[in-house]
């Protein structure tokens, strides 16, 4: 019984620490969302999200709301989405603070670059999707749609589409981090990754075909960056491993 008690206390302390970190992460998201809501306003933030679609629609066209509360609820969801994206560095820092006590000093050195890289790459993926992909995709869809169809997208469906696309591109841009972590953990070698290059390219196009609309523009817009980011991860992996390897590991 005396041997089990320290183990139980350690487990409970970890749960308490995890709860505290989750609470702090949630508070950070709430604060950023509130600042956006009161500072910029949900309506203006939604107009920013809707701008690529509005620009591609025929002159004078507008989006519609098929639900009574959609004009209120959708802008609030968009504000929360922006709040999460902007507070992502804080959320990842809380994750790092939770696992840091159990890491060796040389392992802690690799966490900070990974947190910064993960946040930056996710935001870069979202920005790439918004500024480059949305305009081309919406323009392509409207160009090929029959003239007998009135283009009036529902704002809820549009928000779901935007969120899924932003999430897909944000996660896709994490490929270099995934590659670096796999190599650093010794789960795969750089040489093996180079051998798998052909399979990776095929997988990138398969993933793009699944998570993007069924048009060539959006699929290539996701697949090609994924492949290029994989190549960047392969190039950076040896340098990252060398910089974060402990002296005793080098001796072995």
pLDDT value of residue 8: 61
pLDDT value of residue 7: 56
At which residue do the structure tokens 């992996």 appear? 237
Instruction: Tell me the whole-structure pTM to 2 decimals.
Output: 0.81
Domain encompassing residue 240: 7-244
pLDDT value of residue 1: 45
**Residue 63 domain-assigned?**
yes
Q: What is the pLDDT of residues 211-241, one digit of tens each?
A: 887 778 888 989 999 999 999 999 988 887 7
**Residue 1 domain-assigned?**
no
pLDDT value of residue 150: 79
> How many CA atoms within 13 Å lie on the side-chain side of 184?
24
**Residue 143 domain-assigned?**
yes
**Residue 251 domain-assigned?**
no
In degrees rounded to 5, what are phi and psi of residue 196? Answer: -85, 5
Separation between Cα atoms, residue 133 and residue 52, nearest integer Å: 9
pLDDT value of residue 244: 65
**Residue 157 domain-assigned?**
yes
Flag residues of the chain having pLDDT under 50. 1-2
Q: How far is CA 75 from the centre of its chain?
A: 20
- Overall domain count for the chain: 1
pLDDT value of residue 4: 55
**Interhelix angle 88-99/4-39, nearest 10 degrees:** 170
In degrees rounded to 5, what are phi and psi of residue 154? Answer: -80, 135
**Residue 28 domain-assigned?**
yes
Spell out the residues 6+ positions from residue 120 whose beta carbon is closer than 8 angstroms to its own: none
């Amino acid at each position: 019984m005396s041997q089990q008690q320290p183990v139980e206390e350690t487990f409970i302390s970890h749960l308490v620490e995890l709860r505290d970190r989750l609470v702090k992460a949630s508070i950070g998201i709430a604060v950023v969302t509130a600042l956006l809501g009161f500072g910029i306003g949900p309506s203006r933030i939604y107009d920013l999200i809707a701008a690529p679609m509005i620009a591609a629609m025929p002159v004078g066209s507008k989006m519609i709301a098929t639900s009574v509360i959609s004009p209120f609820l959708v802008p609030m969801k968009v504000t929360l989405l922006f709040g999460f994206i902007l507070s992502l560095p804080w959320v990842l820092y809380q994750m790092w603070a939770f696992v840091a006590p159990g890491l060796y000093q040389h392992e802690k050195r690799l966490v900070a670059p990974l947190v910064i890289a993960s946040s930056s790459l996710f935001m870069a993926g979202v920005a790439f999707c918004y500024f480059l992909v949305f305009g081309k995709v919406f323009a392509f869809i409207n160009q090929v749609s029959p003239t007998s169809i009135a283009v009036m997208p529902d704002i809820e469906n549009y928000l779901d589409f935007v969120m899924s696309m932003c999430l897909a591109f944000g996660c896709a841009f994490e490929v270099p981090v995934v590659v670096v972590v796999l190599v650093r953990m010794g789960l795969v070698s750089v040489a093996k990754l180079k051998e798998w290059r052909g399979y990776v390219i095929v997988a990138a196009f398969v993933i793009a075909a699944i998570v993007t609309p069924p048009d060539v523009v959006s699929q290539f817009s996701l697949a090609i960056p994924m492949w290029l980011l994989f190549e960047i991860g392969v190039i950076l992996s040896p340098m990252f491993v060398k910089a974060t390897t402990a002296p005793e590991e080098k001796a072995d």
